[in-house]
A and B are shown apart, each in its own frame.
With several copies, the nearest count.
Chain A
Amino acid sequence: MNLIDLAQRMQLAMHIPDGFLSVPVALAWWALTIVMIGIAVRQIGDSLNERQIPLMGVMAAFIFAAQMLNFPVLGGTSGHLLGGALAALLLGPWAGILVMSCVIALQALLFQDGGLLALGANIFNMGIATAAIGYFAGMPLLRLFGGKRWGLVVAGFITAWLSVMVAATLTSVELVISGLSAAVVFPAMLFVHMFIGIGEGLITVAALAFVVSTRPDLAATLAGYLSPEALRRPVGRGSMIGVTGVGLLIAVGAALLSPLASASPDGLERVAEDKGFLDQALGPVFNLLPDYTIPGLDGPVSTILAGIIGLLIVFALVYGVSLLLRGRGEGRAIGQQSGSRSGD
């Protein structure tokens, strides 16, 4: 097992090297990143104590090491964690941002995974955006399900999957603004990361469930929203916006996934089992590339149209369900409070 190979192979997916971003894009994202990190440093300084410094340092090392834990997916490829959503879910959004920023900075400084000029963008995509999704999608979703175990599973999976997709989308956006062809970058990045996101989701859920069941006290103190009281609190208006946004993003994802899902009705697992995960995932990308590189085809247009219609339907569904659950959640919150007293 060659560590260098391992470290490199797993990182290449999203770390933009120097040279691919135009200078204005790189600098603009640096500015964004600096502002966000500044806010995060502030927030941490205000809300938490000096205990957080060693904690966050060790957590950055933890994420780094956790990325090395992989599982074989047939065909010589392996799945592993990126960790942004997990960091935000376990540590809270601001600590999550700082931890992930340090991880990505270390990867660039120590191993040249991702460039230095592109570091601002890389930190934003894989650190800040993923942590933000972890918080803005994860927290309301967790509350929506009222602290149920299956809620943790569903919310964790969705959050993790979304965080990967959002990071991939942002990466693509930056590359495209820098002058690369949108018709190549978007499908290639999103397609591959739809699968990477599934691995991310599975690992995140298992890790989250492990921590919550082994050290519930810890999960609650580190990220306040994993505490039982916070989970039972009804979802407010602000969070509903978050949930709505999540619904939207899921819908986009579903639209993107639909061609694949229809190709293998038994689900992704079967595909992965029989044929090899990424081989299967990458194959179509390379088949698709020529389609998309030829300008003026009506194929993409119809796909996008279908996607948008699907998006609207799913969006309406998610919104409806969330409204329904919200009503039920309030009723249950009271019932559980009285129940827990006698139960303890």
Chain B
Amino acid sequence: MLELTDLCYTYPDGTEALRHINLRIAEGEKVALVGPNGAGKSTLLLHLNGVLRCRTGAITVAGHPIADESIRQVRAQVGMVFQDPDDQLFSPTVFDDVAFGPLHMGLDEQDVRGRVLRALDQVGMSGFERRMPHHMSLGQRKRVAIATVLSMSPGVLALDEPSAGLDPRARRGLIDLLRSLPQAMVVSTHDMRMVAEVFPRTVVLAQGQVAFDGPSEAILGDGELLERYGLERP
């Protein structure tokens, strides 16, 4: 589904954020991306749908390499959800926001409408179409943020710290939602309990490199490894 080969990225100011990353993510696979602040998690996610472009190395999405011509298809394939839903929800109403992706894919209005309703239904926010984001709780906004990419029917979801700032109850709802979605996922998080519950596979990034890639149980049970990468026990 998604394949990264020898990905490197250096920010214009010289920060080497990613170094020689190799990753393969199969269809429907759910992968947690963990690591200390500044490890490069967000930077990696921004590569998955081509917002940042690697100079060396390559990324293929569903077999097609990311290139200027294919960038639109890639963005429809990889749905990116940012940490702060206030950044993600930039339209005045929920409907407009969820419709933004499909409209920019060039779909006709009938189809757009159908996709919006379906996406909102998937995240359990039916009936909120006319609401404004600032009238909703953080948990609700996070759900709508996920709906804004589901409406593009992506094959992969890339979520940046989805559980940050939620209280335990809202967090529980989010975990159930993530488990129920059929898409492949790459989710950056500091929340090791969510990792234990949702993700069979974990990738640990440290200083821009893959420090561990394997079954989540292996790392969650290994106190010494967790310690080394500044992670908590779940």
Contacts and interface: CB of A to CB of B under 8 A. Distances in A.
* Chain A–chain B contact at Cβ < 8 A: yes
A213 B90 CA distance: 13
A328 B134 CA distance: 36
Contacts of B135: 214
A214 B92 contact: yes
Contacts of B25: none
Contacts, number: 11
A141 to B, nearest CB: 22
Nearest to B12: A2
Contacts of A209: 92
Interface of A: 2, 54, 209-210, 213-215
B90 A54 contact: yes
Contact of B134 (A2, A54, A214): A214
Which size class do B's interface residues fall under? under 10
Interface of B: 12, 90, 92, 132, 134-135
A108 to B, nearest CB: 18
B11 to A, nearest CB: 12
Contacts of A214: 92, 132, 134-135
A120 B92 CA distance: 25
Nearest to B132: A214
Contacts of A54: 90
B137 to A, nearest CB: 16
A60 to B, nearest CB: 13
Contacts of B92: 209-210, 213-214
10 tightest CB-CB pairs across the interface, nearest first? Answer: A214-B134, A210-B92, A214-B132, A213-B92, A214-B92, A54-B90, A209-B92, A214-B135, A215-B134, A213-B132
A215 B134 CA distance: 9
A158 B131 CA distance: 30
Contacts of A2: 12
Contacts of B12: 2
Contacts of A215: 134
